[in-house]
C-alpha cells in the first residue's frame, strides 16, 4: 500500500503534524490472510493501526479453542494492545488477519508523548475505549436477554419434570401399604435427577409379599419412562397369575419389555431394558424366593453376609435371552436383614482418590450396620454416601431397600 494513500486515510482522523510523525520512518507491515499478529504473553512494544483489511482480536480457552473478542477495521487499533503498551504489561490477546492486511506499528516511546501533544491522538484513544465499551454493553445486554430466555425455558422444563415426579411417585407403592406389608423396612431412594430410572414395586397375594427392585437403562426423563413401563408391566404380569413364581415374573417381564419396545435383536436396535430383583416372602413357611436379572440380593444374619447371585442377563433383548431365569429359595430366620438395590450406591464416585464406592465396601457397610433399626440404617447409608460423594456429582440413581424378616 503506497504511503500517499496511507497519508490520505490518516488525515481523516489526525492533524497533519501527527500524520507527519506517524509516517516518519514508519513500521509498515503487510500481512497475508490468516497471519497471526503478536504473541500472547510477550511484552507489548507497538500500537498497531490497521490501514487496510481487518483483523480479529482473539484469545484462547484452556483447551486451545479460539475466543473471538472483536474485529479491528481500517484506521482502528486494538484497545487491549494500547493499554498493554501504555502500562508496559504483557499482551493477553493476539490478532489474526481476516484478509490481506496492512498495519502501521507505533512505538511506545512515540505514542505516550502524543497523548499530551496531540488532541486527535487523545480522541483516537478515547474513541477506541468508547467503541469497545459500547460493544461490551451491547454484548452484555444480549447475554442478559439470552440468560433470561434460558432461565424461563429452564423453569418451564423443570416445572414439567417436577410434575412428572409427582406422577412417578404416585405409581410407586404408597407408604401405608409398604408399612403394612413390611413392618420393619427402609427405602433409600435418591434420584440422580428429579425423576428416576430406579423403582420399587410391592404387592401382597394371599400370605405372600412380592417385592421388586429395578434399575432401568438411563436415568432422568428417559429412565423415568422406562420405570413407568416396568411398573405397568409388573401390574399386568403378576395381576394375571396369582401363583406365579419369581423366575416366571422375570421371564414374562422380559417378553413384555421386548414386545413393548419392539425389540427383535437386530444390531441397530436400542438395547433398552432393566436389571431387576424379585423377592417373594412367605412368612408362614419362613422362606423367600429370589430371582435376579443382573442384580443380587444380600442377606445379613448375625453379622455375616450371604449373597444370592443373579442370572447375568437383563430384562430386555440380550445375546442369551433364550435362557430362563433361575429361582432361588432361602429359609430366613427372624432378625435376618434382606437388601435389594440398584448399582448406584456402589458406583458412586468420591473419596480422596475420586473412585467408585465399590460393591466390596457396600457389602461391608451393610454388614456393619445390619443390627441397627431399619430407619437408623437408612440414615447411616445416606450419610455415608453423601460424605463419600463430597463435591462430586451423583453419577446414577441410588435405590436401596432393606427388609427385616
- Residue ranges of alpha helices (H) inside 57-206 are 79-87, 108-117, 119-171, 175-181
Residue identified by cell 430384562 is: 315
pLDDT at position 210 is: 96
* Other C-beta atoms lying within 10 Å of the C-beta of residue 164: 16
* C-alpha 344 chain-centroid distance: 16
Q: For residue 134, what is its C-alpha cell? A: 459500547
* pLDDT, mean of residues 257-268: 80
* pLDDT, mean of residues 353-372: 96
pLDDT at position 270 is: 67
Beta carbons within 8 Å of 90's beta carbon, 6+ residues apart = 41, 42, 43, 44, 84
As annotated, the residues of the chain forming the CATH 2.60.120.10 domain(s) are 3-141
Identity of the highest mean pLDDT range in 11-20, 121-130, 239-248, 301-310: 301-310
pLDDT, tens only, 158-193: 888 888 888 888 999 999 999 999 999 999 999 998
pLDDT, tens only, 102-122: 999 998 888 888 888 899 988
Given a cut of 80, whether residue 322 has pLDDT beyond it is: no
Cα–Cα distance, 253 to 404 (Å, whole number): 27
**CATH number for the segment(s) 3-141:** 2.60.120.10
What is the total residue count of the chain?
Answer: 405
Phi, psi (degrees; rounded to nearest 5) at 157: -65, -45
The angle that helices 246-260 and 220-239 make with each other, rounded to 10 degrees, is 130
Cα–Cα distance, 199 to 216 (Å, whole number): 8
- Determine what percent of the chain falls in helix, strand and coil, rounding each to the nearest 5: 40, 30, 35
Q: Percent of the chain scored above 70 by pLDDT?
A: 98
CATH fold of 173-404, please? Phosphatase 2c; domain 1 (3.60.40)
Given a cut of 70, whether residue 288 has pLDDT beyond it is: yes
Q: Residue 79: which pLDDT band, with cuts at 50, 70 and 90?
A: confident
Beta carbons within 8 Å of 248's beta carbon, 6+ residues apart = 241
Q: For residue 298, what is its C-alpha cell? A: 444380600
pLDDT at position 253 is: 94
* C-alpha 26 chain-centroid distance: 54
Identity of the highest mean pLDDT range in 78-92, 264-278, 322-336: 322-336
* pLDDT, mean of residues 66-73: 88
| Pick from 156, 216, 159: nearest CA to 192 | 216
pLDDT at position 1 is: 66
Beta carbons within 8 Å of 100's beta carbon, 6+ residues apart = 30, 31, 32, 33, 52, 53
Cα–Cα distance, 229 to 217 (Å, whole number): 12
Amino acid at each position: 500500500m503506497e504511503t500517499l494513500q496511507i497519508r490520505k486515510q490518516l488525515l481523516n482522523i489526525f492533524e497533519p503534524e501527527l500524520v507527519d510523525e506517524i509516517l516518519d520512518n514508519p513500521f509498515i507491515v503487510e500481512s497475508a490472510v490468516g497471519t497471526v499478529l503478536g504473541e500472547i504473553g510477550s511484552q507489548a512494544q507497538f500500537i498497531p493501526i490497521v490501514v487496510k483489511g481487518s483483523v480479529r482480536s482473539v484469545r484462547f480457552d484452556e483447551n486451545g479453542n479460539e475466543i473471538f473478542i472483536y474485529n479491528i477495521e481500517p484506521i482502528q487499533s486494538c484497545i487491549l494492545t494500547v493499554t498493554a503498551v501504555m502500562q508496559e504489561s504483557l499482551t493477553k490477546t493476539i490478532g489474526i488477519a481476516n484478509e490481506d492486511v496492512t498495519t502501521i506499528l507505533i512505538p511506545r516511546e512515540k505514542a505516550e508523548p502524543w497523548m499530551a501533544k496531540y488532541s486527535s491522538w487523545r480522541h483516537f484513544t478515547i474513541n477506541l475505549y468508547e467503541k469497545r465499551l459500547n460493544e461490551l454493553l451491547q454484548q452484555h445486554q444480549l447475554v442478559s436477554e439470552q440468560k433470561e430466555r434460558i432461565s424461563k425455558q429452564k423453569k418451564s422444563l423443570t416445572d414439567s419434570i417436577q410434575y412428572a415426579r409427582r406422577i412417578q411417585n404416585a405409581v410407586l407403592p404408597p407408604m401405608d401399604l409398604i408399612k403394612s406389608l413390611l413392618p420393619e423396612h427402609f427405602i433409600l431412594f435418591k434420584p440422580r435427577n428429579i425423576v428416576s430410572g430406579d423403582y420399587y414395586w410391592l404387592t401382597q397375594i394371599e400370605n405372600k409379599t412380592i417385592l421388586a427392585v429395578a434399575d432401568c437403562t438411563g436415568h432422568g426423563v428417559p429412565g423415568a419412562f422406562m420405570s413407568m413401563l416396568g411398573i405397568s408391566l409388573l401390574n399386568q404380569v403378576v395381576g394375571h397369575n396369582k401363583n406365579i413364581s419369581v423366575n416366571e415374573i422375570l421371564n414374562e417381564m422380559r417378553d413384555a419389555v421386548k414386545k413393548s419396545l419392539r425389540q427383535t435383536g437386530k444390531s441397530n436396535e436400542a438395547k433398552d431394558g432393566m436389571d431387576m430383583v424379585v423377592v417373594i416372602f412367605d412368612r408362614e413357611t419362613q422362606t423367600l424366593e429370589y430371582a435376579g436379572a443382573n442384580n443380587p440380593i444380600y442377606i445379613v444374619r448375625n453379622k455375616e453376609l450371604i449373597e444370592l447371585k443373579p442370572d447375568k442377563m437383563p430384562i430386555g433383548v440380550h445375546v442369551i435371552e433364550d435362557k430362563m431365569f433361575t429361582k432361588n429359595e432361602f429359609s430366613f430366620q427372624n432378625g435376618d436383614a434382606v437388601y435389594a438395590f440398584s448399582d448406584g450406591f456402589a458406583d458412586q464416585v468420591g473419596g480422596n482418590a475420586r473412585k467408585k464406592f465399590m460393591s466390596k465396601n457396600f457389602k461391608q457397610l451393610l454388614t456393619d450396620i445390619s443390627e441397627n433399626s431399619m430407619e437408623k440404617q437408612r440414615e447411616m447409608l445416606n450419610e455415608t454416601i453423601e460424605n463419600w460423594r463430597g463435591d462430586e456429582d451423583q453419577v446414577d440413581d441410588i435405590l436401596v431397600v432393606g427388609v427385616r424378616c
